[in-house]
Structure 1
Amino acid sequence: MKNYITIIIAIFFFSCQQKENKNTTVSSPDSVYVKKNNEIKKEESKQLGDTIFISLKNEKQTLTAESSLDSIHSKVYIKFKNEDLGTLNGKIIPSKERANIRFNQIIFPDKTSDGPFGMELKIQLNQKGNTILVIGHSLMAENPYYGKFKVELELQKTAK
């Protein structure tokens, strides 16, 4: 009888120690629309968890990405590689008219940062490389925003 109990306990412990194969990163492609010379071209951006990866390459282009904020993901990061110097114009369009959402921070390629900003952003990009925009609600205001929003980014290249 003692041997049976020992075997059952051993099987129970070995079965509980098996590794679970769970993928914690959520991958969902979002649409990014590029407007160049009055032509609208649809590109795919990739959203992994709370980060959206987009690309800025042409002389003047407008990119639109959609995402949402919830209690789990209270911030969204937009990451892009800046290959040209110029002015970055950004605008957040929430699904509700009055919303506590803003550009919290911009992180430049040399890891310096600037912010906070409002729902609109206009900043000079003086460095080439990976730039990150952090979007979230203002901690100084009440009622954090939870819901969908759209981000429009436009890079105006400076003349050489």
Structure 2
Amino acid sequence: MKNWFILLISIFFFSCQQKENKKASAESAESPMPVVQKEKKQENKQIGDTIAMNFKNEENVFSAEGHLDSLNSKVYVQFKNEDLGELNAQILPDAGKGNIRFNQIIFPDKTSDGPFGMDLKIPLKQKGTHVLIIGHSLMADNPYYGNFKVQLNIRKE
């Protein structure tokens, strides 16, 4: 009787394993997973309070979307300049208008200039990493909270 019981248990386990293997092979035969590789679009994204401008779009312009809220009242836009030239920058709020501006630009030698408006046109006389600080004007009421788009165009001399 003991041998008979062991034989039944071993047959039971063997049959259960066979069903699982058949199910796995049947599922893979019925629905093969097509391998589609999507081309990853390179885009500049805001992470925390910083936007790293690493990729230019088709028009050779740095472009990114950002967000100002009560936690991140300033957004830091970093870009690397390899050539001397002129920086033309714009902030385009989703609402059309708002109390948002370029507060400051920090040059690679740690000097700074500002404040500016929603448009910025300034010569770049240094190579290296520049930082633009975007926020609301402290001289005006109703700070801007919401989404905006920032565009940077660097014209070489």
TM-score by length of 2: 0.69
Quote the Cα distance in structure 1 between the aligned partners of 2:63 and 2:128: 20
**Is the Cα contact below 8 Å between 1:56 and 1:82 reproduced in 2?**
no
Distance 1:48 1:98, change over 3 A: closer
Q: How does 1:6-21 map to 2 (within 5 A)?
A: none
> Who is 2:120 aligned against?
121
**Greater helix proportion:** 2
Quote the Cα distance in structure 2 between the aligned partners of 1:111 and 1:49: 22
Q: How does 1:4-153 map to 2 (within 5 A)?
A: 43-55=42-54, 61-153=60-152
Alpha-carbon offset, residue 45 of structure 1 = 2.4
**Is the Cα contact below 8 Å between 1:56 and 1:155 reproduced in 2?**
no
Distance 1:145 1:67, change over 3 A: same
Instruction: Compute the RMSD of aligned alpha carbons.
Output: 1.8
TM-score by length of 1: 0.68
| Residue segments in structure 1 that go unaligned for 5+ positions in a row | 1-41
**Is the Cα contact below 8 Å between 2:45 and 2:64 reproduced in 1?**
no
Alpha-carbon offset, residue 46 of structure 1 = 4.4
**Greater strand proportion:** 1
Equivalent AA in structure 2 for residue 70 of structure 1: D
| Residue segments in structure 2 that go unaligned for 5+ positions in a row | 1-40
**Is the Cα contact below 8 Å between 2:51 and 2:75 reproduced in 1?**
yes
**Is the Cα contact below 8 Å between 2:88 and 2:121 reproduced in 1?**
yes
Q: Secondary structure at the match of 1:117?
A: coil
Runs of 4+ in 1 over 4 A off after TM superposition: none
